[in-house]
Amino acid sequence: MAAAKPISVEVWNPSGKYRVVSTKSMPGTRWIRLLTDNDCRLEICTDPKTILSVDDILALIGNRCDGVIGQLTEDWGEVLFSALKRAGGTAFSNMAVGYNNVDVEAANRNGIAVGNTPGVLTETTAELAASLTLAAARRIVEADQFMRAGLYEGWLPHLFVGNLLKGQTVGVIGAGRIGSAYARMMIEGFKMNLIYYDLYQATRLEKFVTAYGLFLKANGEQPVTWKRAATMEDVLREADVISLHPLLDKTTYHLINPERLAIMKKEAVLVNASRGPVIDEVALVEHLKKNPMFRVGLDVFEDEPYMKPGLAECKNAVVVPHIASASKWTREGMATLTALNVLGKIKGYPVWGNPNQVEPFLDENATPPPACASIACHLQNFRDVVGHIQSEYVGSDYY
């Protein structure tokens, strides 16, 4: 095999015993300090390419590498995991909670633990989903463009009329950490009723809505209500706003398809801050064109970084470039968790007991616990990755 082309890196602590590679520079400096203070030589790729190819990453892994911090845009499969194994590596961490870009079986075959970053991005991502909901419902982007184009001539009764959220029904598909946080924001913030669909019962979320409903009633206001739907179709039929928060796997690929779009309300708002392929984007573009009152807010796209033809021209779509987890605190925390996942595995630390409670790892003023913060897949502790890794925490009672 031809030697892989060299790729530029920035080196920290050159004499460190363990070689850790990060395929990207990440926000903050704590993650760098945690690695270098623990005898790691850290190499951060400085190649300006946005998405590294498998060959680029092979060059970074080289002949000796203990662990890699990678990105959700990279294709982590047999080629990379076997190369990492040959280089003496045991640890990989995705800088993301979702790891549909990772072939966990290949990682497992090669004895590589796979880490991810749950919890630290829950509220940040839910807040962006809420922002997209408001932007779509109240036509913020269209109105902004109208202003900037100098078209505003004065207040008019029909100008940019949108949807009121109060008293309407919010539908959540995938009521896990982020879905539940989003639901609470919409219920508490806008007094919406909830209908949700998940494989598991979101008991805590249900209790929250019940208690909030009682509070409203006691104060002479209309109480909010909740319903766990038996089918996804029930959510699509009943909800005025629908936000998608499942992981991407075979069961959620093209979960929103032409048949399901057809049963949604003509004036519904659909939000996706999960993964692009959860929606059949070609079908969505058709639906948006035929139904101008139907609006979407999208953070993710089927063929990122591209949009399907026609989407950019749809005025009833608000589109942002996969920024749902992009708050400073969250991105720095994600960097910390990925570094601690890799470091923990290199040091032989046990897996942290609860990947939904990662706060002890994020305290800047304390030494992190001697544990791998969140290991999604591990040879000796292969949790049910396909059927959902955090199966000990089912019931979606994260939030």
Ligand X SMILES: NC(=O)C1=CN([C@@H]2O[C@H](COP(=O)(O)OP(=O)(O)OC[C@H]3O[C@@H](n4cnc5c(N)ncnc54)[C@H](O)[C@@H]3O)[C@@H](O)[C@H]2O)C=CC1
Question: Phi and psi (nearest 5°) for 292?
Answer: -65, -20
Closest distance between ligand 3PY and the C-beta of residue 165, in Å? Answer: 25
Q: How many Cα atoms within 13 Å fall on the side-chain side of residue 266? A: 4
DSSP 63: S
Question: Phi and psi (nearest 5°) for 296?
Answer: -130, 155
Give the residue, chosen from 300, 337, 362, 376, that forms a contact with ligand X under the rule CB under 6 A: 300
Count of positions on this chain that bind ligand X (CB under 6 A): 34
Nearest to 267 by CA among 316, 229, 320, 227: 316
Q: Is there binding between residue 98 and ligand X (CB under 6 A)?
A: yes
Catalytic residue among 177, 275, 287, 295: 275
23-62: which residues touch ligand X (CB under 6 A)?
A: none
Q: Is there binding between residue 96 and ligand 3PY (CB under 6 A)?
A: yes
Give the residue, chosen from 27, 98, 276, 333, that forms a contact with ligand 3PY under the rule CB under 6 A: 98
Closest distance between ligand 3PY and the C-beta of residue 244, in Å? Answer: 13
Cα separation, 190 vs 184, whole angstroms? 10
Q: Is there binding between residue 252 and ligand X (CB under 6 A)?
A: yes
Q: Is there binding between residue 115 and ligand X (CB under 6 A)?
A: no
Active site residue 304: yes
Q: How many Cα atoms within 13 Å fall on the side-chain side of residue 337? A: 31
Catalytic residue among 41, 177, 322, 383: 322
Q: Tokens in use for 308?
A: 């399907």
DSSP 379: G
72, interface contact from ligand 3PY, ligand X, none, CB < 5-8 Å by kind:
ligand 3PY
Q: Is there binding between residue 322 and ligand X (CB under 6 A)?
A: yes
Tokens 């990279």 correspond to 74
Contact (Cβ atoms closer than 8 angstroms) between residue 245 and residue 129 = yes
Give the residue, chosen from 168, 316, 325, 374, that forms a contact with ligand 3PY under the rule CB under 6 A: 325
Closest distance between ligand X and the C-beta of residue 100, in Å? Answer: 6
Q: Tokens in use for 166?
A: 């109060």
Give the residue, chosen from 46, 251, 354, 357, that forms a contact with ligand X under the rule CB under 6 A: 251
Which parts of 65-193 fold into alpha helices (H)? 78-86, 104-109, 122-137, 140-148, 177-190
Instruction: Kindly tell me which of 4 and 247 has the beta carbon lying closer to ligand X.
Output: 247
Count of positions on this chain that bind ligand 3PY (CB under 6 A): 6
Binding segment toward ligand X, per CB under 6 A, in 241-249, 257-265, 286-294, 311-319: 241-249
Q: Is there binding between residue 121 and ligand 3PY (CB under 6 A)?
A: yes
357-396: which residues touch ligand X (CB under 6 A)?
A: 388, 390, 396
Q: Tokens in use for 161?
A: 């009329």
Active site residue 388: no
Q: Which helix (H) or strand (E) holds 113?
A: strand 113-115
154-213: which residues touch ligand X (CB under 6 A)?
A: 173-179, 197-200
Local structure of 131: helix, strand or coil: helix
Tokens 């505003």 correspond to 152
Contact (Cβ atoms closer than 8 angstroms) between residue 42 and residue 32 = yes
Give the residue, chosen from 245, 260, 308, 345, that forms a contact with ligand X under the rule CB under 6 A: 245
Q: How many Cα atoms within 13 Å fall on the side-chain side of residue 79? A: 11
Question: Cα dist. 60→5, 53, 68 in Å?
Answer: 9, 11, 9
Active site residue 158: no
Largest CA distance in the chain: 75
Q: List residues with catalytic annotation.
A: 275, 304, 322
Residue ranges that bind ligand X, judged by CB under 6 A: 97-98, 118, 121, 125, 173-179, 197-200, 245-248, 251-252, 273-275, 299-300, 322, 324-325, 388, 390, 396, 398
Residue ranges that bind ligand 3PY, judged by CB under 6 A: 72, 96-98, 121, 325
